[in-house]
Amino acid sequence: MGTFEALVALGFVVLFHEFGHFVVAKACGISVEVFSLGFGTKIFKKTYQNTEYTLSLIPLGGYVSLQQEGKGGYLSKSLWQKSLILLGGPLFNFLLAFLLYTALALMPQERLEPIVGQVLPNMPAANHLKAGDRILSLNNTPIQSFEDLQKAVRNAPHLAVLLWLQRGATTLNLPLTLKEMPAKDAFNQPTTIKVLGIKPTNKTFYFHYTPLQALEHALTQCAQLIALTYQGLLKLVEGVLPLSNVSSVVGIVDFLAKQSGLEIWFLSVGFISINLGLLNLLPIPLLDGGQLVLLWIERLVKHTLSAKQIQALNALGLAFLLALLGLGLFNDLATMFAKPA
């Protein structure tokens, strides 16, 4: 993917976020005054059913302008309707990732056969498994691919496991004790992983999910990535992860531009969409999460903030977001210039 395609992909993710606000607002009976593809000078516009659809000069995302006053205005709606409208954008970001991962799961998946290619010395498999053994199950978990075996080993509740395998025409069951090895987690923090001590052959096959399995797989994948992103944000706040991990639009576009292959592209765009959704749920003024928190605080304390108070909070939120953007831009540029020519 080139830089232009990466910009278009990022713009689509942001636009899909705004489309979420648009759809929920319409469902709540709110008049949408403007739905814009892009920002800046309007180069094309068409009004349909009281909504002005525009194409603007800068194609990075878009925005939705809702009617505020009157019967069909945002301010006339209930707390729950306002909350749903604010949540619409982030939820549509999660929906986009889910759709991408479902589409990816419905494609033929190339997997490694669960066949032992090499047995590593001083490992649990030594003196038990042989090259050519086909793994059938681990602790009653069916194994269809080598990736399934890795997952089953990693998630085994205990070190002691029961392995079923096929050796030639014979089916064997072997009790083994897995070994724990030091490793690094997704945040480069020290952890331990369970290992069996084998390597696969280079034999592959194509695996097909059923539609229901594809939906389940995509849902699980989204849930895992949401949890991973949330943990990453917490570790940034706690200082476990350095601030050098913060990235900006420049870094995101650069990351997307380097992706090749439909599978990696779908995974990357879905992950960025999830990140955008979670970022907008943060309780920071100007973001959806910040506006949602203010809505509920006003209801709980039964006091409506004045225009000046909201303006001051928005200014603080803008300052924070600009500082975050500046930090991300600094990190991205420092990384780019640090690369060897």
Separation between Cα atoms, residue 268 and residue 283, nearest integer Å: 25
Beta bridge partners of 163: 138, 174
The full DSSP string for 26-44 is HHTT--EEEEEEEEEEEEE
Angle at 293 between CA 290 and CA 296, to 5 degrees: 150
State how far the Cα of 198 lies from the Cα of 121, in Å rounded to an integer: 9
- Say which residue the tokens 């913060």 belong to: 246
Query: How many whole angstroms separate alpha carbon 256 and alpha carbon 5?
Result: 8
Q: Does residue 52 carry a catalytic annotation?
A: no
Spatial separation of the C-alpha atoms in residues 55 and 40, rounded to whole Å: 9
Say which of 5, 18, 238, 298 is annotated catalytic.
Answer: 18
Residue 167 corresponds to which tokens in the numbers above?
Answer: 């050796």
| Residues designated catalytic | 18
